[in-house]
């Protein structure tokens, strides 16, 4: 049994039965008795003062029950949305954050900002009534462009943040870095834009707020990656209700990628409005709303430099980044371009000195927060573009230049606060070079050239810091919460098991992988294990799923809860077998003892724990249920090498990815099938960033990419199949040796694609997304083309 | 029939809008159709889209709305044996039609070969695009007779977005599902 379903087996997913038969239960599939519908009136302006809101006509519209505005929410003293990570500027001052009300107070700061909400009997009636809300605006000039938003004379978005500057943060030893650059034999300098992305989980965000006047309590069904954090914020900061009077349920959730971590205006308003109207209030985003008002990702402009000595050794790295934070600070926005970014600027390389400055900037655009990878894709793009360009400038093979500079001994303390605990970067590189058939790339390039095509190969040797823990470490860096995870293992009298976890699955397959772990350790069939998550009334507390943390942190909590179950079960077995407890052994689901020939199965011991006939209450507490909180001692450091090989048609600018090799070190694996699936999905989000996707605001602050006709999502025909393999240096900071795999592809891919395209072009002058038009224009600037002309 | 492909011009559904629709006593159209083999009738608001008729009236919530503009394909169902994006079809225009949703694909408790292939190949993660993806894949196999290489599968799924899987395992699933549909000679519709 355990061999087929245990740790390391590619077990088919338990959750699939309901998804492939249409029996999933997503938030929009849930309807409450007496339910009403919410539609938001959103700002059509990027920046404007609200002069007046006339609700009279809307209130007369058929089915309309209420129109609620910022004045109403202020009168009821509903708290503002929060940013939960305090960043201090290099001068020591705290970040300068303006208020973020759930419904605008006198001013709107991006197109899509929440001005009012209409509650009506049906969705259609709510939409009709929303069109009758008359809002008079005084349009203001908008600060939309990240590069210029801090300049004198730009429109001021929040009075609290002069020059639209939230913070001017830094990390590293500036003097040491400056000295290294003075001494350098070679300096590579690049300017990069990390394009703005829109996460686009295919399930739009949704919420149902349901106030129960009999209990004076609320229930929220919502599309959340972390329902307990949502409850904590809604209770402690926004003040909807105390935690014990607020139940948050995140049922099946259709993808998140970060965008469903955050506590948004809509769920706040649905809860508050359900009490106002005395009925449940449901809101489901349409896709345009998702584009306008889901937190976006990335959006950096960076100048970066690499110092190299005469022997080809990298000696220092220096970066200056402006990060767009949008019109308000979203829940974790401040941390993404700071502590999730600059600490990864050492990459896989032994670099003596690193210094990074980051300006966090308000603009009149949607809030920007964590999106798959969150800071680490931006760091990887900086490091891997720098290293690639430096190798080319120095005339070195890019693989060998990387190899020369790899970190080789662990633990390794970087100049940017991280202690890498385990890795073998050369092993990944060697395996990837072999799988990609790197030796013969020259022949393939020549063959492409014979056909009038341009072939290029690009590397990305990435590292990430995952788990987003230990709590004490993130606390010292400004996090407002601890980032451990909890688990409870409840054994039923018949020996079946419920595993309650604070992690949340929205595609990651926890119902399968967490059951694999439990099944193997307790020696029971995987069918006897059910994983429970996503409901604050069932699971006591949890920190949710993001930062590739559910395996390394969430499953480790389960591991230790199982340890406690086994300790207790051995005591029960000792009484039943009538042997001293220290002689009891537990292996493969069987309790045995050197003191007897008798054995007991796990279900037999479970039953004995509950009937409690063989021991007294003075000797042992009945029952078999244990919990654990796990807080690791370090971040985890997944790493790997991705190699992208492209062929460009110079006549059309079309880039075709001919082959993709990924060799990742995720530490130990629970289910390689699921891990590979995570890699595939991550790569395609990264390829989307590199080739297709880009959120575009015009200079007035209108989002011109607000539909799938205008924002180019990767489709099946845009990408290849992938050649994926793993290495394993087990992670030492958790009992399972897991590093995490959810974000790797999205972190690695953009640099690999752009390094391949620039290799094909013969110059570095291309920005993301490298659309056919952009590539076609870049081909015209390539040395061979110019030479031919 | 409506095509699942955004690039193709949408032609008029087999049952032209309003054809054969009786006006109910309240002025609401009265529609009758066969959904997953069961006859259903209802008085509906004339603007009711097929996806909302399925989800809200029949509580068949396996058909999802991902973009409400016929671009993502999460809402694909079969009408008279052909795939349609049900977010852009009026329920009234399907009067007299046979509709199959994801809930109707398995027969007598046995998964359709395409459903089984998605499970075996890990062709889904969050599951939200999956019903539409499976319905589109079955239609693709039916239309092409199952002769599908990787390129044909990728091009054939152009009308369906997935944000989780990177399509790698979906392609593998459709390839296997197509082979198994052929081998069991299962008439999908």
Banded pLDDT at B145 (limits 50, 70, 90): confident
pLDDT of A643 above 50: yes
Q: In the predicted model, is pLDDT for residue A95 greater than 70?
A: yes
A716/B157 Cβ within 8 A: yes
- Tokens 């897991």 appear where? A738
Q: Do A20 and B71 touch (CB under 8 A)?
A: no
- Whether residue A379 is predicted with pLDDT greater than 70 in this model: the reply is yes
Query: Is the predicted pLDDT of residue B15 greater than 60, yes or no?
Result: no
- Is residue A426's pLDDT more than 50? yes
Coil/strand/helix, residue A107: strand
pLDDT confidence band for A469 (50 / 70 / 90): confident
Are A22 and B101 an interchain contact pair (Cβ–Cβ within 8 Å)?
yes
Percentage of residues in chain A having pLDDT higher than 70: 99
On whether both A93 and A228 belong to a single domain, the answer is: yes
Structural domain count, chain A: 4
Q: Please indicate, yes or no, whether residues A38 and A15 belong to a single structural domain of this protein.
A: no
Q: Report the distance separating Cα A635 and Cα A733, nearest Å.
A: 8
The residue length of chain A stands at 789
Instruction: Please determine, for residue A737, whether its predicted confidence score (pLDDT) is greater than 70.
Output: yes
Task: Flag if B124 and A683 touch (Cβ within 8 Å).
Answer: no
Residues A37/A283, Cβ–Cβ less than 8 Å: yes
- Domain layout of chain B by residue ranges: 22-102, 113-184
Q: B61 and A29 in contact by Cβ < 8 A?
A: yes
Tell me: do A577 and A617 sit in the same domain: yes
Contacts of A674 in chain B (CB under 8 A): 122
Query: CATH for B22-102?
Result: 3.10.20.30
Q: Which of A630, A651, A670 is where one domain is finished?
A: A630
Q: Which of B72, B111, B165 sits opposite A677 (nearest CB)?
A: B165
**B20/A420: higher pLDDT:** A420
According to the model, what pLDDT value does residue B185 have? 52
Q: Structure tokens of A299?
A: 């959006």
Nearest Cβ partner of B102 from A21, A287, A719? A21
pLDDT of residue B12: 35
Please name the residues in contact with A214: beta carbons below 8 A apart, sequence gap of 6 or more. none
**Residue A585 CB contacts under 8 Å (≥ 6 apart), including other chains:** A591, A592, A593, A594
Q: Say if residue B100's pLDDT is above 90.
A: yes
User: CA–CA distance from A143 to each of A71, A119, A237, A301 (Å)?
Assistant: 26, 33, 29, 16
CATH superfamily of the domain spanning B113-184: [2Fe-2S]-binding domain (1.10.150.120)
Do residues A692 and A714 lie in contact, with contact meaning Cβ atoms separated by under 8 Å? Answer: yes
**ipTM of model:** 0.97
DSSP structure string for B105-134: TSBTTBPPHHHHHHHHTT--SS-SSHHHHH
A619 and A652, same domain (yes or no): no
What are the tens digits of pLDDT across the range A697-723? 999 999 999 999 999 999 999 999 999
- Helix-strand-coil percent breakdown of chain A, rounded to 5? 30, 25, 45
Residue A451 belongs to a domain with what CATH number?
3.30.365.10
Per the rule left: phi > 0, alpha: psi between -120 and 50, beta: everything else, A670 is: alpha
In a domain, A436, yes or no: no
| Separation of alpha carbons B95 and B80, rounded Å | 11
Residues of chain B in contact with residue A202, where contact means CB-CB under 8 angstroms, are 64, 66, 72, 74, 126, 128-129, 161-164
Do A665 and A770 reside in the same domain of the chain? yes
Question: Within a domain: residue A228?
Answer: yes
Query: Are A687 and A714 a contacting pair, CB within 8 Å?
Result: yes
Best residue of B54, B127, B155 to probe chain A, by most A CBs closer than 10 Å: B127
Of A481, A70, A27, residue with least CA distance to A236:
A481
User: Smallest Cα–Cα separation from B73: which of B8, B157, B7?
Assistant: B157
User: Residue A353 has which token pair?
Assistant: 């000195």
Mean pLDDT within A680-692 = 98
Overall average pLDDT of the A204-220 stretch: 98
Closest CA to A375 of A300, A294, A293: A300
Cβ–Cβ under 8 Å, residues A596 and A579: yes
**Position of tokens 């605008």?**
A104
The predicted pLDDT at position A447 comes to: 98
Question: Residue B146 — pLDDT band, cuts 50, 70, 90?
Answer: confident
Among A29, A286, A681, the residue with its CB nearest the CB of B68 is A286
Q: Which residues in chain A have their CB less than 8 angstroms from residue B170's CB? A: 716
Whether the pLDDT of residue A333 is over 60: the answer is yes
Q: Range with the lowest mean pLDDT among A3-7, A68-72, B60-64? A: A3-7
Cβ separation B111–A722 shorter than 8 A: no
Cα distance between residue A741 and residue A641, in whole Å: 13
CB A300 within 8 A of CB A345: no
Binning pLDDT at 50, 70 and 90, where does residue B63 land? Answer: very high
Per-residue confidence (pLDDT) for residue B26, from 0 to 100:
56
The residue in chain B having the minimum alpha-carbon distance to the alpha carbon of residue A687 is B166
Per-residue pLDDT, averaged over A275-300, amounts to 98
The reply to whether A182 and A214 lie within a common domain is no
Distance to chain A for B96, nearest Cα, Å: 24
Cβ contact B163–A200 (<8 Å) = yes
Q: Which two tokens stand for residue A232?
A: 């904590």
Of A257, A399, A293, nearest to A686 (Cα)? Answer: A257
Question: Which of A14, A15, A20 should be substituted to probe chain B, the one whose Cβ sees the most B Cβ atoms within 10 Å?
Answer: A20
Q: Which site among A10, A11, A13, A16 would you substitute to test the B interface, given the most B Cβ atoms closer than 10 Å to its Cβ?
A: A16
- What average pLDDT does the segment A658-682 reach? 98
pLDDT tens per residue, range A574-620: 999 999 999 999 999 999 999 999 999 999 999 999 999 999 999 99
Range of the domain at A53: 31-140+203-254+260-293
- pLDDT-derived band of residue A468, with 50, 70 and 90 as boundaries? confident
Is A350 a member of any domain? yes
Looking at the fold, whether A169 and A117 belong to one and the same domain comes out as no
Q: How far is B61 from chain A (nearest CA, A)?
A: 6
pLDDT of residue A170: 98
Inter-chain CB proximity A257 and B163 less than 8 Å: yes
Chain A residue closest in CA terms to B101: A22
Q: How far apart are CA B33 and CA B60, in angstroms?
A: 14
The predicted structure's pLDDT at residue A784? 60
Q: How far is CA A445 from CA A432, A442, A638, A681, in A?
A: 19, 5, 32, 28
pLDDT of residue A579: 98
Domain boundary among A630, A664, A679: A630
pLDDT, position B13:
40
**Residue A769 predicted with pLDDT over 80:** yes
Chain B residues near residue A204 by CB distance under 8 angstroms:
65-66
Q: Give me the residue from B47, B66, B119 closest to A16, CB to CB.
A: B119
The overall average pLDDT reported for chain A is 97
Residue with tokens 């307990």: A228
Whether A426 is covered by a domain: the verdict is no
Chain B residues with beta carbon closer than 8 angstroms to that of A506: 126
The pLDDT score that the predictor gives to residue A486 is 96
Tokens matching residue A277: 């109207």
Most A CBs within 10 Å, among B126, B159, B169, to test the A interface: B126
Q: Nearest residue of A to residue B60 by CA position?
A: A22
| Whether residue A620 sits in one domain with residue A489 | yes
Residues of chain A positioned with their CB less than 8 A from the CB of B65 = 28, 204, 284
| Residues of B in Cβ contact (< 8 Å) with A29 | 55, 61
Distances (CA, A) of A121 to A64, A73, A221, A754: 7, 21, 19, 51
Say how far apart CA B26 and CA A469 lie, in whole Å: 61
- For β-strands A654-665 and A723-727, DSSP reports them as parallel
- Tell me: do A54 and A18 sit in the same domain: no
| pLDDT the model gives residue A4 | 84
* CB contact (8 A) between residue B169 and residue A20: no
Nearest residue on chain B to A205, judged by CA atoms?
B66
Supply φ then ψ for residue A383, to 5 degrees.
-65, -45
Among the partner residues B72, B106, B128, nearest to A26 by beta-carbon distance = B128
Confidence check: pLDDT of A76 > 70: yes
pLDDT at B27: 66
**Does A43 share its domain with A7?**
no
- Chain A CB contacts of B154 below 8 Å: 716-717
Residues A287 and A300 in one domain: no
Q: Are residues A156 and A223 in the same domain?
A: no
Nearest to B165 among A19, A28, A681 (CB): A681
């Amino acid at each position: 049994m355990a061999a087929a379903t245990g740790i390391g087996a590619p077990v088919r997913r338990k959750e699939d039965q309901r998804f492939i038969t249409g029996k999933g239960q997503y938030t929009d599939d849930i309807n409450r008795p007496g339910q009403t519908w919410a539609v938001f009136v959103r700002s059509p302006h990027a920046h404007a003062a609200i002069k007046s809101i006339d609700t009279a006509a809307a209130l007369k519209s058929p089915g309309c029950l209420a129109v609620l505005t910022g004045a109403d929410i202020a009168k009821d003293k509903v708290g503002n949305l929060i940013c939960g990570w305090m960043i201090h500027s290099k001068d020591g001052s705290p970040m300068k954050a303006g208020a973020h009300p759930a419904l605008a107070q006198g001013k709107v700061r991006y197109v899509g900002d929440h001005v009012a909400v209409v509650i009506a009997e049906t969705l259609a009636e709510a939409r009709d009534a929303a069109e009758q809300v008359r809002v008079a605006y005084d349009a203001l000039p908008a600060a939309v462009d990240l590069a210029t938003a801090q300049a004198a004379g730009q429109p001021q978005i929040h009075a609290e943040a002069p020059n639209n500057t939230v913070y001017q943060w830094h990390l590293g030893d500036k003097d040491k870095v400056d000295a290294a650059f003075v001494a350098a034999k070679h300096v590579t300098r690049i300017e990069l834009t990390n394009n703005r992305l829109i996460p686009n989980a295919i399930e739009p965000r949704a919420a149902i707020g349901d106030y129960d006047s009999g209990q004076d309590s609320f229930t929220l069904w919502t599309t959340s990656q972390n329902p307990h954090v949502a409850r904590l914020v809604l209770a402690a900061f926004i003040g909807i209700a105390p935690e014990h009077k607020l139940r948050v349920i995140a049922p099946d959730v259709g993808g998140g990628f970060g965008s469903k971590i955050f506590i948004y205006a809509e769920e706040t308003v649905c809860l508050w409005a359900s009490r106002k109207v005395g009925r449940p209030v449901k809101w489901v985003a349409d896709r345009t709303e998702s584009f306008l008002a889901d937190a976006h990702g990335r959006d950096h402009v960076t100048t970066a430099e690499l110092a190299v000595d005469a022997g080809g050794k990298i000696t220092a790295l220096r970066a200056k980044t402006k990060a767009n934070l949008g019109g308000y600070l979203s829940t974790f926005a401040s941390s993404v371009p700071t502590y999730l970014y600059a600490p990864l600027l050492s990459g896989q390389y032994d670099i003596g000195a690193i210094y990074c400055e980051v300006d966090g900037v308000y603009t009149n655009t949607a809030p920007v927060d964590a999106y798959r990878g969150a800071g680490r894709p931006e760091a990887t793009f900086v490091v891997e573009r720098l290293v690639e360009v430096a190798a080319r400038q120095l005339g070195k093979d890019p693989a060998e230049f990387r190899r020369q500079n790899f970190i080789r001994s662990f633990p390794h303390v970087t100049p940017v606060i991280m202690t890498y605990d385990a890795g073998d970067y050369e092993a990944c590189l060697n395996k990837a070079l072999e799988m990609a058939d790197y030796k013969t790339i020259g022949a393939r390039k020549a063959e492409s050239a014979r056909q009038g095509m341009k072939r290029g190969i690009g590397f990305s040797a990435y590292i990430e810091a995952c788990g987003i823990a230990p709590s004490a470490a993130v606390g010292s860096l400004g996090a407002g919460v601890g980032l451990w995870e909890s688990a409870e293992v409840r054994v039923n009298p018949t020996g079946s098991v419920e595993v309650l976890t604070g992690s949340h699955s929205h595609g990651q397959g926890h119902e399968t992988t967490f059951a694999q772990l439990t099944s193997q350790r307790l020696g029971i069939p995987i069918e006897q294990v059910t994983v429970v998550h996503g409901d604050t009334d069932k699971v006591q507390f949890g920190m949710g799923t993001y930062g590739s943390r559910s395996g390394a942190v969430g499953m480790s909590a389960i591991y230790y809860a199982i340890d406690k179950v086994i300790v207790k079960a051995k005591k029960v077995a000792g009484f039943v077998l009538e042997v001293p407890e220290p002689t009891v052994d537990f292996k493969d689901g069987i309790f045995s003892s050197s003191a007897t020939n008798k054995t007991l199965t796990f279900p037999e011991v479970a039953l004995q724990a509950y009937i409690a006939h063989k021991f007294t209450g003075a000797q042992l507490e009945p029952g078999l249920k244990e919990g654990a909180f796990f807080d690791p001692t370090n971040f985890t450091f997944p790493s790997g090498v991705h190699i992208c090989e492209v062929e460009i048609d110079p006549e059309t600018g079309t880039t075709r990815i001919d082959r993709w090799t990924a060799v990742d070190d995720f530490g130990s694996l629970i289910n390689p099938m699921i891990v590979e699936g995570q890699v595939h999905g991550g790569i395609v989000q990264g390829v989307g960033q590199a080739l297709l996707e880009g959120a575009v605001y015009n200079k007035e602050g209108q989002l011109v990419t607000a539909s799938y006709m205008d924002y180019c999502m990767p489709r099946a025909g845009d990408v290849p199949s992938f050649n994926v393999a793993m290495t394993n240096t087990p992670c030492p900071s958790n009992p399972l040796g897991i590093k995490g795999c959810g974000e790797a592809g999205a972190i690695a891919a953009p640099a690999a694609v752009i390094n391949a395209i620039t290799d094909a072009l013969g110059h570095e002058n291309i920005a993301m997304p490298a659309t056919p038009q952009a590539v076609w224009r870049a081909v015209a600037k390539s040395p061979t083309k110019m030479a031919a002309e | 029939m409506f095509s699942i492909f955004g690039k193709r011009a949408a032609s008029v559904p087999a049952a032209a809008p309003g054809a054969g629709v009786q006006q109910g006593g309240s002025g609401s159209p009265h529609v009758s159709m066969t959904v997953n083999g069961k006859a259903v009738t209802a008085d509906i608001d004339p603007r009711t889209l097929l996806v909302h008729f399925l989800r809200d009236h029949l509580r068949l919530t396996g058909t999802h709305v991902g973009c409400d503009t016929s671009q993502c394909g999460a809402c694909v169902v079969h009408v008279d044996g052909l795939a349609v994006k049900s977010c852009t079809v009026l329920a009234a225009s399907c009067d007299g039609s046979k509709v199959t949703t994801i809930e109707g694909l398995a027969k007598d408790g046995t998964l359709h070969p395409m459903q089984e292939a998605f499970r075996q190949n890990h062709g889904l993660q969050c599951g939200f695009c999956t019903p539409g993806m499976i319905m589109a894949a079955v239609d693709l196999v039916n239309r092409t007779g199952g002769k599908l290489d990787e390129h044909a599968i990728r091009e054939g799924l152009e009308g369906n977005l997935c944000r989780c899987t990177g399509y790698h395992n979906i392609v593998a699933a459709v390839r296997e599902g197509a082979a198994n549909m052929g081998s069991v000679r299962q008439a999908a519709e």
